[in-house]
Amino acid sequence: MLERLNQAMDHIETHLDQQIDVAGLARIAVTSEYHFRRMFSALAGIPLSEYIRRRRLTVAGAEVLSGERTLLDVAVRYGYSSGEAFARAFRAVHGVGPGEARRTGAALHAQPRMSFRLIVEGSSSMRYRVVEKGEFRVVGKKARVPLVCEGVNPAIADFIRGIGRETIRRISALSDQEPDGIVSVSDDLDPSRAEGTELDYYHGVVTRAEVPGDLDALAVPAGTWAVFESSGPFPQTLQHLWRDVFTQWFPSNPYESRPGPEILSVQTSQDGTQADAELWIPVERTTA
């Protein structure tokens, strides 16, 4: 899998001055576009679209400083429809406009070219199981919130605090299957998975029960799920679990992620320092 990802990275590098088709990159990596985007963001730490943008502006920056082309020619070559659009994007990455950079020879910021390699540490094992699950509902309270990649999501924290205890009690009583009890569910994420993009967050339960009129529901079709278990310090265990699934488990197993909600069940210790977490990811077997 990593070799195919690196072939896709080579394709990006040789086509920075052209339109890059993400579906084509996924075909090079012999996976779905959905899984390719998720795998890339987990391995690289930034969304695919952001990496491509930074690489383009890194290479464009070198051409700006060289002075061999006009600024408009450089802008058009790297996909910008006007000098103004190019200048805004250039300043956002380099902290200085292209004209000023050329006049002063300013120091620019560079996004290094990425490649991926597998480091085998052997210091820990990942507990997982694969489950075939019939259709079900997520029932609870829903909010549209921004994506936060690291640390506590303030919007989610505020949303949960605003749900009354009686409502939480009624929601919890609807739980009738795995994963048990109150769960955190993320759905309808932006394909880029960029910081600040929005997602649907449900604070609810997994159930087949009828939906009370004052609660929100998400219908989930039958399918295959990979279930990962992890225990350790809170909140580090939660922050690392999703990353480890995509950087360690997917590259070495014959599965890829498929569209669907991510379900996280967490039990914390009384003092709040330790957590047992269970993460449900919708998957399908690869055909390669």
Q: Are 20 and 10 in contact (CB under 8 A)?
A: no
What integer pLDDT is reported at residue 122 of this predicted model?
A: 40
Angle made by CA atoms 47, 90, 92, in degrees to the nearest 5: 60
Q: Of the residues 40, 72, 104, which one is the last residue of a structural domain?
A: 104
What integer pLDDT is reported at residue 288 of this predicted model?
A: 58
Domain with 36 in it: 2-104
What span, in angstroms and rounded, lies between the C-alpha atoms of 233 and 236?
Answer: 6
Closest alpha carbon to 141 in 198, 204, 184 = 204
Positive/negative CA dihedral, 107, 113, 119, 124? positive
Given a cut of 60, whether residue 89 has pLDDT beyond it is yes
What span, in angstroms and rounded, lies between the C-alpha atoms of 110 and 101?
Answer: 14
Residue 272 lies in a domain: yes
What span, in angstroms and rounded, lies between the C-alpha atoms of 2 and 251?
Answer: 7
| 193: phi then psi, degrees, rounded to nearest 5 | 55, 35
3-state SS track over 19-53: CCCHHHHHHHCCCCHHHHHHHHHHHHCCCHHHHHH
Residue 121 lies in a domain: no
**Whole-number mean pLDDT of the chain?**
89
- Dump pLDDT digits (tens) for 12-59: 999 999 999 999 999 999 888 988 998 888 788 788 999 999 999 999
| 273: phi then psi, degrees, rounded to nearest 5 | -100, -15
Helix/strand number for the chain, H first, E second: 10, 9
| 221: phi then psi, degrees, rounded to nearest 5 | -70, 165
The verdict on 37 and 93 lying in the same domain is yes
Q: What Å distances lie between residue 126 and 130, 230, 249, 286, CA to CA? A: 13, 7, 8, 20
The verdict on 171 and 265 lying in the same domain is yes
The verdict on 275 and 135 lying in the same domain is yes
The verdict on 138 and 17 lying in the same domain is no
Residue 116 lies in a domain: no
DSSP state for residue 210 in the 8-state scheme? P
What span, in angstroms and rounded, lies between the C-alpha atoms of 116 and 3?
Answer: 8
Positive/negative CA dihedral, 223, 217, 186, 241? negative
Its pTM stands at 0.74
The verdict on 196 and 275 lying in the same domain is yes
Residue 118 lies in a domain: no
Given a cut of 90, whether residue 208 has pLDDT beyond it is yes
The verdict on 142 and 269 lying in the same domain is yes
Amino acid symbol at 163: I
The verdict on 48 and 133 lying in the same domain is no
Question: Which of the two residues, 62 and 194, has the higher pLDDT score?
Answer: 62
DSSP state for residue 245 in the 8-state scheme? I
pLDDT above 90 covers a percentage of the chain that reads 64
Tokens of 282: 């919708």
What integer pLDDT is reported at residue 200 of this predicted model?
A: 97
- Dump pLDDT digits (tens) for 93-134: 999 999 999 999 888 998 989 887 755 444 445 689 999 999
Which CATH number fits the domain that encloses residue 37?
1.10.10.60
Question: Which of the two residues, 44 and 92, has the higher pLDDT score?
Answer: 92
The verdict on 159 and 260 lying in the same domain is yes
The verdict on 77 and 149 lying in the same domain is no
Number of domains making up the chain: 2
Q: How far is CA 207 from the centre of its chain?
A: 26
Q: Are 232 and 275 in contact (CB under 8 A)?
A: yes
Tokens of 281: 């990811």
What integer pLDDT is reported at residue 190 of this predicted model?
A: 82
Rg (CA), the chain: 22
User: Which of 119-123, 139-143, 177-181 shows the lowest mean pLDDT across its residues?
Assistant: 119-123
Q: Looking at residues 73-85, what average pLDDT do you find?
A: 94
Tokens of 283: 């998957």
DSSP state for residue 121 in the 8-state scheme? -
The verdict on 49 and 144 lying in the same domain is no
